[in-house]
Amino acid sequence: MKSLWTILITTLSVLTLVNPFQKNKENQKQNNEGIIVHYRGDYPNPHIHYWDIEPSGLYTPTGWPGEKLIKDANDWYTKEFIGVTSIKLIFNNGGQPQTSDLSRTTGEWWYLGQGSGGKWYAQDPDTIEETSSEEAQKINLHVKSTLDVPKILYYDSLPAGTKINLPTNMFSETNNWYRYGFHKISSIKVKITFGTTETKEYYLTNGEWYLKDGILTSFKPNETSSGKSDFREETIYFLLTARFYDGDQNNNVHCWDDRQAQNPDTDPAWRGD
């Protein structure tokens, strides 16, 4: 019986020694979580340029324009920095356009980019329910161009702050349409450049806008294909029937109404053809 108790006590003591080790391991893992950044925006070829990494020596600062980001789910692009506690970075489209200098500390972060600007989120913004007012504050401009990639210059937004100093390329859609979008603003002024020709100023408010042949509309213009037209858009002509043309007066028919009304021979009740 004495030997049995000794074994039990020894076993219990071993179990208690395991807990501090597990706790230290969890603390170590927590301290080495590092930084994870996600990017989603208007750059079709997103890169990340980073420097001033702490602790130093874990990662080598990149040369411009940095590393190409790896595409993740839901159009996000992701870069992980294991063990890093702070870092400075720039998102760019393989050069230009680019964001301003950004910085992050330990944690996981999501950046919604818009031209040279954007906004950081501490959680996936796709999981955040937007209010009806935020949902309404979106502007998308679609431009038709069969020759050049159109460039857009934008300024005078409401709220203020969304602007660029030099025109930037719009992003290709299908059938020679190009798009540029804005979030969290209710209005903005834009000019479009085709080659060396700049358009007049356009004032955009919330919603979808389409610019084709110099005409701005809030609906997508009809596309015609290979010379064929939509019969629903054709002008309809009505032809007068033969009964209104008195071709043969010999077979005209008069009736008693004509006599009562005193109609002349030139105005019979029934005309022949």
pTM of the predicted model, to two decimals? 0.44
Supply the DSSP symbol for 203: E
Fold of 132-217: Immunoglobulin-like (2.60.40)
Full pLDDT tens readout for the chain, 273 residues = 545 444 444 444 444 444 443 443 344 345 558 999 999 888 889 999 999 999 999 999 999 999 999 998 888 999 999 999 999 999 999 998 899 999 999 999 999 887 777 888 898 877 876 555 555 678 999 999 998 899 999 999 888 888 888 898 888 888 999 999 888 888 999 999 999 999 999 999 988 999 999 999 999 988 765 455 555 556 666 655 555 556 677 777 777 776 777 777 777 766 665
Q: Give me the DSSP letters along 41-92.
A: SS-SS-EEEEEEEESTTSSPPPPTT-EEPEE-GGG-EEEEETT-SEEEEEEE
Domains 35-127 and 132-217 are alike in CATH topology: yes
Residue ranges covered by each domain of the chain: 35-127, 132-217, 238-273
Place of tokens 């060396």: 196
Give 12-48 pLDDT, tens digit per residue. Answer: 444 444 444 344 334 434 555 899 999 988 888 999 9
- Does CATH number 2.60.40.10 belong to domain 35-127? yes
CA–CA dist 169, 228 (Å, integer)? 33
Supply the DSSP symbol for 140: E
